[in-house]
């Protein structure tokens, strides 16, 4: 009986310490976080405000006047940090550049991206820097861009010819042509 009582006592003390740590950590964490803007909808977040009657940059400017130079908004279910002061932005992109250049990790990217091996979805690190270097050298070098110049020129000429042929075939009295541009 004493043996069970000691395990129950240890479990109770451990549970109390974990809860105390969680309470203290949450109160300290709240002090360090930027204020959250009000008016978010459950799944949409603040997207309804950004499409509203005012342009998005005007809406974000009025929110900056209300909440300060740095605040949080929700874009869907994701949190975004809005910085409207150049000094804070400079600190974000110079002092804390590695923290801000990282991408959020998700299970979907991990599974579909072969454990973050895809260049566009991988987190910042030595692997990402090496892949960026290879892609710039192999795809964006002057030699490679020059090799593909004929392909770009032929595609532009083909699309202009298609537009011209469609206009000649379908033009009306108004010389206005409605054309599907997706293909």
Name 73's bridge partners: 80
Q: SS3 string of 135-149? A: HHHHHCCHHHHHHCH
Which of residues 162 and 16 earns the better pLDDT score?
A: 162
Name 41's bridge partners: 45
* Alpha carbon distance 164, 168 (integer Å): 6
Given a cut of 90, is residue 66 above it in pLDDT?
yes
Over the chain, what is the mean pLDDT?
A: 82
Q: Which of 32, 66, 26 is nearest to 49 (CA)?
A: 66
> What is the per-residue pLDDT across 31-56, written as a single tens digit (0 to 9) for each?
578 888 988 888 899 898 888 788 98
Q: Which two tokens stand for residue 114?
A: 């072969």
CB 73 within 8 A of CB 37: yes
Q: Please state, for a pLDDT cut of 90, what percent of the chain lies above it.
A: 21
Given a cut of 90, is residue 156 above it in pLDDT?
yes
> What is the per-residue pLDDT across 73-86, written as a single tens digit (0 to 9) for each?
999 888 888 999 99
User: What DSSP state is assigned to residue 43?
Assistant: T
* Alpha carbon distance 129, 183 (integer Å): 35
Which of residues 178 and 8 earns the better pLDDT score?
A: 178
Given a cut of 70, is residue 173 above it in pLDDT?
no
Task: List Cβ neighbours of 135 (8 Å cut-off, separation of 6 or more).
Answer: 119
CB 159 within 8 A of CB 180: no
* One-character DSSP codes across 152-177: HHHHHHHHHHHHHHHHHHH--TT---
Given a cut of 60, is residue 29 above it in pLDDT?
no
Taking the model in full, what pTM does it have? 0.50
Name 74's bridge partners: 79
Beta strands in the chain (DSSP E): 70-75, 78-83
């Amino acid at each position: 009986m004493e043996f069970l009582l000691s395990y129950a006592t240890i479990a109770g003390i451990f549970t109390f310490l974990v809860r105390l740590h969680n309470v203290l950590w949450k109160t300290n964490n709240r002090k360090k976080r930027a204020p959250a803007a009000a008016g978010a909808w459950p799944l949409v977040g603040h997207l309804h405000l950004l499409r509203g009657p005012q342009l998005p940059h005007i809406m974000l400017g009025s929110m900056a006047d209300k909440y300060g130079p740095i605040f949080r908004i929700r874009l869907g279910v994701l949190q975004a940090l809005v910085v409207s002061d150049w000094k804070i932005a400079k600190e974000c992109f110079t002092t804390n550049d590695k923290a801000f250049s990282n991408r959020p990790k998700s299970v979907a990217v991990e599974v579909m991206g072969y454990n973050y091996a895809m260049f566009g979805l991988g987190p910042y690190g030595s692997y990402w820097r090496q892949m960026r270097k290879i892609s710039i050298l192999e795809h964006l070098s002057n030699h490679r861009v020059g090799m593909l110049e004929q392909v770009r020129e032929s595609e532009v000429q083909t699309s202009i010819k298609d537009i011209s042929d469609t206009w000649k075939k379908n033009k009306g009295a108004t010389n206005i042509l409605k054309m599907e541009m997706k293909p």
